[in-house]
Amino acid sequence: MPNTISITIVEADRDRAMQIVDSLREAGDFDIHVVSEPSSLARQVEHRQPDIVLIDLTNPSRDVLEEMTLASGPLDRPVAMFVDRSDAGLSAAAIEAGVSAYVVDGMKPARVKPILDAAIARFRMFQRMRTELAETKKALEERKLIDRAKGMIMKARGVGEDEAYALLRKAAMNQNKRLADVAEALVSSAGLLS
């Protein structure tokens, strides 16, 4: 068995980094290192000389890693790394999941695959969580807006809660708009009156 593959994970969020590490540990025995500080990214990678670097696609520091693709660049790095080219389908899946992998020159595709598979699965989960969180937040905010609009109608018209809600819903239907949008319009323009 050749030497243990060394992996560097670039991730500022500690929890996320730990989750990625856990997923990789399940996939095999690797030497894993996490970089959380963007300013020291180039130095750390240079120092560690990992076989694979995993980075979130949305991380703006990613462009720093591109310097490593210059095999004999002005900085004369001893190691040339490439965006993973071992399997177009796998690379595309990684991009879709939001992770990109840099792989050291000469690494066998068969050794890269399980690592990338594990990373992709984990990043897909992050993506789902992010979407769910955003949806929940939005629902909560809309709920609050509707409650405030309802309160305003109750006060202005001297009606009960159910009737206020019915009025709001009727207005939304008449204007062909979402309930939350009508509520928002009411709440934001009411601010002008007080």
Partner 1 sequence: MRTINLSVGFIPLVDAAPLIVAHEMGFAAEEGIALVLRKAPSWSSLRDLLSFGQVDAAHMLAPVPVAAAMGLGGAGVPLAAASVLSVNGNVIGVSRGLEHRLRDLGHDFAFGDARAAGEALIAASNGVLRIGVPFPFSMHAELVYYWLTALGLPAPQNVVIRTVPPPLMVQALKAGEVDAFCVGEPWGSMAVEEAAGALLLPCSAIWAFAPEKVLAVRSDWAEQETALLSPLIRAVWRAGRWLSDPASRTLAAELLGRPAYLGLSPEVIDRALSGRLVISQAGEERQVNGFLEFHRGAANFPWRSQGEWIGRQLAARTGFDRDHAARSARAVFRSDLYRKALIGTGADLPGASLKIEGALSQESAFAARSGQMLLQPDRFFDGRVFEPSAE
* Least Å from the CB of residue 67 to partner 1: 5
- From the list 64, 154, 159, 187, which residue makes contact with partner 1 (rule: CB under 8 A)? 64
* Dist. CA 119–CA 127, nearest whole Å: 12
**CB of 99: closest distance to partner 1 in angstroms?**
11
**Nearer of residues 87 and 142 to partner 1, judged by Cβ:** 87
Q: Does 166 bind partner 1 (CB under 8 A)?
A: no
Total site size for partner 1, rule CB under 8 A: 32
Per the CB < 8 A criterion, the answer to whether 55 and 62 are in contact is yes
**Identity of the residue, 85 or 128, whose beta carbon is nearer to partner 1 in the bound complex:** 85
Does residue 72 touch partner 1 according to CB under 8 A? yes
Record the tokens describing residue 157, joined without a space. Answer: 């018209």
**Is 58 one of the binding residues for partner 1 (CB under 8 A)?**
yes
In the complex, the smallest distance separating the C-beta of residue 91 from partner 1, rounded to whole angstroms, is: 6
| Distance in Å, CB of 85 to partner 1, minimum | 5
- For residues 83-122, which are near partner 1 according to CB under 8 A? 83-85, 88, 91-92, 95-96, 100
- State which of residues 44, 59, 119, 145 lies at the interface with partner 1 (CB under 8 A): 59
**Which residues make up the interface to partner 1 (CB under 8 A)?**
38-39, 42, 57-67, 69-76, 82-85, 88, 91-92, 95-96, 100
